[in-house]
Structure 1
Amino acid sequence: MGIDFDQSRWERVKQAHRAWWAGELDRPLIYVTLGGHDPGRPEPSTPRKHMAAFYDLCVPAGDIVDRWDWDLGCLRFAGDSFPHVWPNFGPGVAAAFMGAQLRATEETGTVWFHPARELDIRDIHLEYDPDNVWLRRIKDISRAAVERWQGLVQVGMTDLGGNLDLLSTFRPSEKLLYDLYDHPEEVKRVTWEAHELWWRYFDEISSVMQPLNPGYSSWYGVYSEERSYVLQCDFCYMIGPEQFDEFVRPELAASCRRMVNGFYHLDGPGQLPHLDSLLTIPELKGVQWVYGEGNPPAEHWPGV
């Protein structure tokens, strides 16, 4: 039996998403997944984990993918939904690619990134490491997934993180805020170093998955046939519009120019002062509004 999906249904999914990205779909995308499907084989011995980061590095990538395959085989996909996985190693795993320590704690369900040591902004220089254990792990899992499914399942891009969010891993946020005033050019330098590395990681991981992968997706699960990612900068919750335009918007705009369907994750009311600026980026296709924990739900924000 296996996964309850086929290429004819993929064609319908692609058609709906193609129209949605073009602004021509006369309805919202509707994702519905239901349990109760028989996967047609015994449950694998590899346990289910909330995040891929919780698997010990000695667990083969193929065993992780086999677990995902069985889990997907238990589901039915309705509406515009489709079989989809993404190797979740925590938000901003690109920081680990750049040398930060990744600490995954399954008991608390969290992943945190910490620098090997705290440095002055002027001493931070981000470099590419082709042998980074986490980059290789994600590439291995992504490769095993697309080879297993041969285009039946969409394999999403891992959560690479946002520009100043990555920088704040190496420079504590309260000190980085001072750096915006005391060392603005150094902040910009490291931001663009992170930008170039981010795109190198994105392209490397994508090259492992394409062309077998049906398309592109990330942690928020929206499908795109063409290059796409949901960008973010949670750090900008703590800065005003002028600093957003100086330190954040240029890098976001540059990233949008390097993909076809760029999206932005607007996380919480503290980011609303930046919405007007975001909407001036011509290549940005849309904004995902998240009203945030403890705030009124979506229907209370008609102006947004």
Structure 2
Amino acid sequence: MDDSRRRRQRMIGLLRGMARDEGYTLTCLPDVRLLRADRPLSRTPVLYEPGIVIVVQGSKRGFLGRQTFVYDDQHYLVVSVPVPFTMETHATAQEPLLAIYLRLDSAMALDLCEQLDRHEGIATAEPRGLYSSPMEASLSMAVLRLLEALANAPEGELLGPAMVREIYFRVLCGAQGGSMRAALAQQGRFGRVARAIRLIHSEYDEALSVDRLAHEAAMSVPTFHAHFRAMTGTSPMRYVQSTRLHQARLHMLRQDTTAAAAATAVGYESASQFSREFKRLFGRPPVEEVARMRRDFAMPEALTPSGFVSSH
């Protein structure tokens, strides 16, 4: 058995031991969670906070417009800016999907970017809000060290942060690390659209208009529309709607509220409109979707608020 296979088998064993239930499992590090799925999942809408998803066993496919993003034991996913997309999972009870999710620590990532910028030969690229990239051996080894530390609470708490920093370093220097560094810089049109996206996430329950979002991005409405769609694959108001609906679903799951109360909490004035749009996005009425999530998906306590809405 070669080194890469031994390393993968070790990671699978560690994740199986720590992530015993389907859904997300907390770790001793607040921005690191483990994910397990014991069954396949057909295409479903998702909205990830900025972060890194590293799959050790099984696979996921993300679909954004005509683009497909594979993240499996050979590829990881990077989300620089929250982008609503659809995702499917390939997993079985015998070979469950096992993954690690690292929510982006922007301060740490930017600090590394500044240090990398001082070195010659560090290429940059066009910023991208979402991409998958090949898993290099150096990154795989860093992930294994983190998992070994997380399996031991004192090591995880004391050494884990440095190991997370190494993973960021490997990603920023990886095959598409230049795109992540450019996205984190928040420069140019990408940065201006990103400011509008942050406004949507912080004020999703307010009456947001395209004019206001375009003003936040310092663009004309037509220019803003074009660049927003190029970056996210959807229109500004569809993005607002998706953000509200994802937040409403989480509200019902975590707060155990009614669909009507969740609709009001995210800015809907019409409960019937909320129910129609919810079913259009998730494929089920609110009550059925929440029941499915509770039945099939472990939902631990919320992460520390980051200013972004997400699916989990």
**Class of the TM-score when normalised by the shorter of the 2 chains:** under 0.3
Given the two structures, how large is their TM-score scaled by the length of structure 2? 0.27
Q: Looking at secondary structure, tell me which structure has more strand per residue.
A: 2
Bigger relative CO (Cα 8 Å, ≥ 6 apart): 2
